[in-house]
Amino acid sequence: MFLTYPAPYGHWPSIKGEAQNKFAELYSNTPFNSVPREGISRELIEWLLVNQDKGFRDDEFYKDILQMPNDLPTLRNYYSQMSMVDEGVGQVLAASERQEIFEDTLVIYTSDHGMSLGQHGFWGHGEDTWPSNTHREAHHIPLIIKHPGKSHGGKVAESLVGTTEIHATVLDYEGLPLPESENSPSRSLRPLVQSGGDHWDGAVFMEQEETRAIRTRGWLLMQRVKGTEYDFCAELYDLENDPDERQNLADDPNYQDVLQDLTVRLNAYFLKYCDPKWDLWHGGTVKSNSTRPFLWRELWGENWAPSF
């Protein structure tokens, strides 16, 4: 079964104002001190200006996206809808126990992307700034796995893993052949789930249109597509000394060896695994939609279009 919940959808009008659902009271007086109050970032303002220049959005969009960060009713509504999801997942697990299939079931709980709720001065995920970003809040997601058999308490694995691993993990538990490493980066999480050990090289790779990134335990590097008229810059963060990703070290001469090493790893990954048809950085297209079609038409010609 593949079960997806439409809530919480992280933008107005679906989370505007005080919550009206059954969990609203849980959050009615919550100050949400764990969510920092920050000024609107330059990257968000520039994204709104780009949208306006290209004629993509109406005035209401600009008003809304600037009001959401630091808005307490929106935060309370958002989190109350997450409690609705938690309740729904609990109902599914309870039903599997009543049907006596719980111990034979592999359960994977995750999400499609993260969500900045004002951190770094924007609301949304990686596409909601200009250029797009891969900050932790925008891409960090839950991943909880219950493997078949009796549970003997939870384990926490500190390894960095990505959603690409889910494919191989499901195949592994089904006893089906795993994808060959030459053709797919997907690796089964089964050893990690069952032992809790660390068997990984500690890196995840991400792409958000014009931004590609590598995250390790110690570093985050964001690279941007070349050859555009826009002043895109690389970003490098020391996650040990700067876990909130505030100080960009990409132009610091003391970190050029780190920058070069991570750039080589990032480029090698996409060179190996990126299907040319979907390689946006080298003339490819996208499988569904793009929030920057103007960028790719400027790079690859007016005939560029998403492949629906």
Q: Give every residue of the chain whose pLDDT is below 70, as ranges.
A: 151-152, 196-199
Amino acid 61: pLDDT: 75
Report the predicted TM-score, pTM, of the whole model to 2 decimal places.
Answer: 0.92
Structure tokens that stand for 72 in this block = 């307490």
Amino acid 159: pLDDT: 86
Structure tokens that stand for 148 in this block = 């078949």
Alpha carbon of residue 91 to chain centroid: 26
Amino acid 276: pLDDT: 94
Amino acid 196: pLDDT: 64
Residue identified by tokens 């709720």 is: 117
Amino acid 9: pLDDT: 87
Amino acid 87: pLDDT: 96
Amino acid 153: pLDDT: 73
Q: What is the CB-side half-sphere exposure of residue 240 using CA atoms within 13 A? A: 4
Helix (H, G, I), strand (E, B) or coil at 293: helix
Amino acid 51: pLDDT: 87
Amino acid 197: pLDDT: 62
Residue identified by tokens 């195949």 is: 171
Amino acid 152: pLDDT: 65
Separation CA 192–CA 208 (nearest Å): 27
Residues 6+ apart with CB under 8 A from 290: 209, 296, 306
